[in-house]
């Protein structure tokens, strides 16, 4: 069973992903793969530097994510350029991991931009972790120390809540307690693995 897992920034998708892994799912985390494909020495990092210049490199030669983020989240064409470098590499690496999963495994692809990249139809089911936009903004400002303007630009760079919900097979609302979240993850896991 191939499952796409998505949710807006600060929705709690990573927490849900970890809970599914605890329940035996093979989780393929696109964010981790996105870091892997631009690690020092990779062709992905060389392509990012060719597109955006040396100012996106830190002193150690690794990608300076805040510097790159400041460039791409303020300019849609630059964001699309970055996505054209990262997404194909992430998909190729995810396919390798999925191919090595045990037969019959529940394989969960944790993909923040699943809706934006039009991948929903390629999965047997899509799970959306959902919170109101106000909750996303509050979490980014309070928990991640972002300015409200930066938080709003990150939300605006993603699909709308309605767009994500329109591709959902299962919705996990994450505005309650951790116990409520665990209970809902159990229900969805049972439905997927059952």
Is 67 assigned a ligand-binding role in the annotation? no
Q: In which order are the strands placed within the sheet that holds 26-29?
A: 26-29, 107-110, 2-7, 125-130, 170-173
For residues 88 and 94, is the Cβ–Cβ distance under 8 A? no
* 117 annotated to a ligand binding site: no
Is residue 84 a known part of a binding site? Answer: no
Under 8 Å between Cβ of 20 and 189: yes
Cα separation, 48 vs 50, in Å, equals 5
Of 72, 89, 104, which is closest to residue 37 (Cα–Cα)?
89
In this structure, are residues 171 and 40 in contact, taking their beta carbons and an 8 Å threshold? Answer: no
50 is in an annotated binding site: no
Answer yes or no: is 169 a known binding residue.
Answer: no
Query: Which residues line the annotated binding site for ATP?
Result: 10-15
Query: Which residues line the annotated binding site?
Result: 10-15
């Amino acid at each position: 069973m191939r499952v796409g897992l998505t949710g807006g920034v600060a929705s709690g998708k990573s927490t849900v992903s970890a809970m599914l892994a605890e329940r035996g799912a093979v989780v393929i985390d696109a964010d981790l793969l996105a870091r892997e494909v631009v690690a020092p020495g990779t062709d992905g990092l060389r392509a990012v530097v060719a597109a955006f210049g040396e100012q996106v490199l830190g002193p150690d030669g690794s990608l300076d994510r805040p510097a790159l983020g400041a460039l791409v989240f303020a300019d849609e064409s630059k964001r699309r350029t970055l996505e054209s470098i990262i997404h194909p590499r992430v998909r190729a690496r995810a396919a390798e991991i999925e191919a090595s999963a045990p037969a019959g495994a529940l394989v969960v692809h944790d993909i923040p931009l699943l809706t934006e990249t039009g991948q929903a139809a390629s999965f047997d089911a899509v799970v959306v972790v959902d919170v109101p936009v106000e909750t996303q903004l509050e979490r980014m400002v309070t928990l991640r120390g972002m300015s409200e303007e930066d938080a709003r630009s990150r939300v605006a760079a993603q699909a709308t809540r309605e767009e994500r919900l329109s591709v959902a097979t299962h919705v996990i609302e994450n505005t309650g307690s951790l116990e409520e979240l665990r209970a809902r993850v159990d229900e969805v896991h049972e439905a997927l693995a059952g």
